[in-house]
Copies of this chain bind each other. A is one copy, B any other.
């Protein structure tokens, strides 16, 4: 089906595109369809990284092993200029964690500390639960209602294909701990910012701000949060014992891994494509973001296999994204003033791409339209021409660098995101290939023509 559409569309698209100074759309369509059919580079990378390294929390020795693995892998794949740009960062690590309702209905609950959580100490803390259905409700409460208690926020996230609610739904995680601390709370537990119903809490970063003292801050799994609501409905005081033994281990090194497909004209600005190499510590970081680094590198490799692009393609596997975009900010500090032809990042799982947005500027409108044409045959709709986003590349896009977003279907992303369940089995190889096909097509258009390697003549 996709194949038939592709063929039909290429015929239709051939003449208008040919009038631009753009790469041959038939050739780009061929690269795209070959990736859709048989890409194995992306699977090979994400399978290898999640198996041979596994979890790789930013700034830890596991992330350092991931960088070693990455350098070896990208070198073996034939990329040029493979290097690590190191940077320092503060590191927080998880320890023992448990939660237990002491009264009125004794039972264990499943909890995970949020990033930068304070520690309860190994003995834990015990306190009465005070419940709110949003951060705003917590904010509106008098300090006296919160002081010395364990705040519980029951804010439910719903699944959407574009993940639009993450900013809004994430407020209890990002702001809740600070607000609770400033009101004198003993600790805070939130309903996980997630859309599943498994006993796997969703961790994620938060930062105590405005001078708030760190307090223990955790996420209950969604079934546990719903259980808490049912228990609270009985109207009796609810007491919880909470153990979250996490700690700040000081400044450690992280780094960005960079590799290139050198362009024929090294004076032209590079195309920057990437994802992030670090992951949360409980899963193996398959959808977040093993898939992303795999997709970006696989597409670049496919262009490399096809020949030599006019422009350099720079692959970047950012370090320390999860805990505060440290890798993206370091790259920006080093290279953000240099011209870039486009920035693209994959960091929303491995499900199919359904939309392309771009922010290449009015002068490059025909190039942006060409992207839409070469992506349409694999089910991708053209969205906006004035917009692009990305996690690590976000600050540079905000600075005005040009960018492209290949938007993935995120309907099931927040079922898995930041949980122990982020493992390889959650990746659908066929959808992963569609991602690589889209990225290959985009790189085919942006690369400014690919010069095929000279082959010996047939005799």
Contact = CB atoms under 8 A, between A and B. Distances in A.
A234 B52 contact: yes
A69 to B, nearest CB: 10
Nearest to A221: B420
Interface in A354-393: none
A223 B423 contact: yes
Given A52-B234, A199-B200, A107 B226 contact: no
B197 A200 contact: no
A425 B200 contact: no
A55 interface: yes
A72 to B, nearest CB: 14
A296 B147 CA distance: 46
A223 B51 contact: no
**How many chain copies does the complex carry?**
2
Nearest to A281: B108
B200 A198 contact: yes
Contacts of A50: 227
Interface in A38-80: 47, 50-55, 62
Contact of A105 (B52, B230, B419): B52
A34 interface: no
A278 interface: no
Interface string A417-449: 001110111100000000000000000000000
Given A47-B230, A227-B51, A230-B47, A423 B105 contact: no
Nearest to A200: B199
Contacts of A104: 52
A306 to B, nearest CB: 30
A205 interface: no
A7 interface: no
A424 B222 CA distance: 11
A107 B231 CA distance: 36
B199 A231 contact: no
A421 B199 CA distance: 6
Nearest to A110: B420
Interface residues of A, number: 36
Contacts of A178: none
Contact of A198 (B105, B198, B222, B227): B198
Contact of A51 (B47, B108, B231): B231
Contact of A107 (B55, B107, B197): B55
Contact of A423 (B227, B419, B424): B227
**A197, A222, A234, A420 interface centre (most CB from chain B within 10 Å):** A420
A387 to B, nearest CB: 35
The 3 tightest CB contacts between A and B, nearest first, are: A54-B107, A199-B420, A223-B423
A105 B54 contact: yes
A239 interface: no
Given A50-B227, A54-B105, A223-B425, 13 more contacts: A51-B230, A52-B105, A53-B105, A62-B106, A198-B198, A198-B200, A199-B200, A199-B283, A199-B420, A223-B421, A223-B423, A226-B424, A227-B284
A47 B106 CA distance: 16
Contacts of A105: 51-54
A107 B53 CA distance: 8
A128 B74 CA distance: 31
Nearest to A199: B420
A199 B47 contact: no
Given A47-B230, A227-B284, A284-B107, A198 B55 contact: no
Contacts of A107: 53-55, 62, 284
A426 B197 contact: yes
Given A47-B230, A420-B110, A425 B54 contact: no
A89 to B, nearest CB: 22
A50 B105 CA distance: 10
Contacts of A110: 420
A131 to B, nearest CB: 15
Nearest to A224: B423
Nearest to A69: B105
Interface in A99-113: 101, 104-108, 110
Interface string A196-207: 011110000000
A396 B222 CA distance: 41
